[in-house]
């Protein structure tokens, strides 16, 4: 029994233009740094979406407790909208869902988002729930693997939801280039996928993972008294370049495929350098990663929610045919690389 992604849904808070964010807030926040100006201009982001627009409210001095309270206020309605849209796209009712898996690295609390959404969506009281926390940008793929395993084992529909509100974790003013980069890239979003055992959609064929523990300090997401603070080494693209080809080729080889068999690429847009590295390492044409670049431009890097939105964008493009294969790639702390092989089933 092959589990398939039968529906997608997403929900976004208010729009914030990148240039306006720089002019109205970050220019002063980063003390008119020329480096910061260049980073914001070259981030590949035209606009983002935020529940806390720093041009209107500055959370940089808020305690972590205050930020978590704000998450509990903002996340439920965004998650509800995303899941409702995905259920509608899949054409199933809430009572048919056997598992709800919620992913986030930007907000925690108990009773958690999974419990609140089960109530607001009218999901079954015997619903299984799973929360995947603090894995970072690649978390959608291990979560997808777990959800797919449930669908295959139990023959029931399941929902995967990623909710990331990165705007709640704006840091105090600093000269740290890593903080400049993260503040230039990240946005907020909720993205959901519905998986079913029998349907048209994107079949989850196989998933692979690789972690280079020697580079564990290259990407970090630390809980501090003033929110969560990202560490992002400029060496990350180089580490990915060393491992990406071998991990992908192993995944394809065990499924009887080669890179030339892939017709769609869903790559987590961690930033322009990440996308350029993937393109160069795998020898892809510029058009291959356009869905990823479009999502980065219009929504920013929304951590774990981003890859689901790239897959939704790729499907909406209408260029995939039955039997086409898709490679999905995501990266995060560890330093970890996840890859998934999907197949279009009609």
Does residue 198 surpass a pLDDT of 90?
Answer: no
Question: Do 258 and 212 share a structural domain?
Answer: yes
Give me the pLDDT at residue 331, please. 96
What is the rounded distance in angstroms from the CA atom of residue 4 to the CA atom of residue 206?
A: 12
* pLDDT tens column, 28-66: 999 999 999 999 999 999 999 999 999 999 999 999 999
Nearest to 81 by CA among 12, 182, 2, 176: 12
What are the φ and ψ backbone dihedral angles of 26, each rounded to 5 degrees? -70, -25
Question: Do 131 and 11 share a structural domain?
Answer: yes
Show which of 171, 196, 221 is a domain's final residue: 196
Question: Do 210 and 135 share a structural domain?
Answer: no
Give me the pLDDT at residue 280, please. 97
Place of tokens 């869902």: 97
Nearest to 117 by CA among 85, 84, 76: 76
Question: Do 205 and 191 share a structural domain?
Answer: no
Question: Do 119 and 26 share a structural domain?
Answer: yes
Place of tokens 């048919």: 96
Q: Average model confidence (pLDDT) for the chain?
A: 97
* pLDDT tens column, 271-327: 999 999 999 999 999 899 999 999 999 999 999 999 999 999 999 988 889 999 999
Give me the pLDDT at residue 1, please. 74
Model-level pTM? 0.96
Residue-range definition of the domain harbouring residue 63: 4-196
Provide the annotated active-site residues.
137
In the chain, the number of structural domains is: 2
Which CATH number belongs to the domain containing residue 246 in this structure? 3.40.47.10
What are the φ and ψ backbone dihedral angles of 85, each rounded to 5 degrees? -65, -40
Show which of 196, 214, 237 is a domain's final residue: 196
* pLDDT tens column, 114-145: 999 999 999 999 999 999 999 999 999 999 99
Question: Do 146 and 26 share a structural domain?
Answer: yes
18 neighbors 46 (Cβ within 8 angstroms): yes
Give me the pLDDT at residue 89, please. 97
Confidence of residue 20 (pLDDT cuts 50, 70, 90): very high
Show which of 180, 196, 212 is a domain's final residue: 196
CA atoms within 13 A on the CB side of 78: 27
């Amino acid at each position: 029994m092959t589990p398939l992604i039968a529906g997608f849904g997403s929900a976004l808070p208010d729009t914030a233009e990148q240039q306006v964010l720089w002019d109205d807030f970050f220019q002063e926040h980063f003390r008119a740094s020329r480096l910061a100006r260049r980073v914001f201009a070259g981030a590949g982001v035209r606009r983002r979406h935020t529940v806390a627009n720093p041009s209107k409210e500055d959370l940089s001095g808020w305690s972590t407790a205050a930020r978590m309270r704000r998450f509990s206020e903002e996340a439920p309605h965004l998650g509800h909208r995303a899941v409702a849209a995905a259920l509608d796209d899949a054409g199933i009712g809430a009572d048919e869902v056997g598992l709800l898996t919620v992913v986030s690295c930007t907000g925690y609390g108990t009773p958690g988002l999974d419990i609140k959404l089960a109530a607001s969506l009218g999901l079954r009281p015997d619903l299984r729930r799973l929360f995947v926390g603090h894995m970072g940008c690649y978390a959608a793929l291990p979560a997808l693997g777990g959800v797919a395993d449930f669908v295959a084992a139990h023959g029931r529909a399941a929902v995967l939801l990623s909710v990331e509100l990165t705007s709640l974790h704006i840091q105090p003013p600093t000269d740290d280039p890593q903080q400049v980069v993260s503040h230039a890239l990240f946005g907020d979003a909720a993205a959901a996928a519905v998986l079913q055992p029998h349907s048209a959609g994107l079949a989850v064929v196989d998933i692979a993972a690789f972690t280079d523990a020697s580079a564990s300090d290259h990407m970090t997401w630390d809980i501090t008294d003033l929110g969560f603070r990202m560490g992002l080494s400029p060496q990350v693209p180089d580490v990915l370049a060393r491992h990406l080809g071998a991990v992908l080729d192993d995944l394809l080889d065990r499924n009887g495929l080669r890179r030339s068999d892939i017709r769609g690429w869903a790559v987590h847009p961690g930033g322009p350098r990440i996308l350029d590295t993937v393109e160069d390492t795998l020898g892809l044409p510029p058009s291959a990663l356009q869905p990823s670049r479009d999502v980065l431009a219009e929504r920013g890097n929304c951590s774990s929610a981003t890859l689901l939105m790239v897959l939704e964008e790729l499907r909406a493009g209408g260029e995939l045919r039955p039997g086409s294969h898709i490679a999905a790639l995501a990266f995060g702390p560890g330093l970890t690389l996840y890859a998934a092989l999907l197949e279009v089933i009609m």
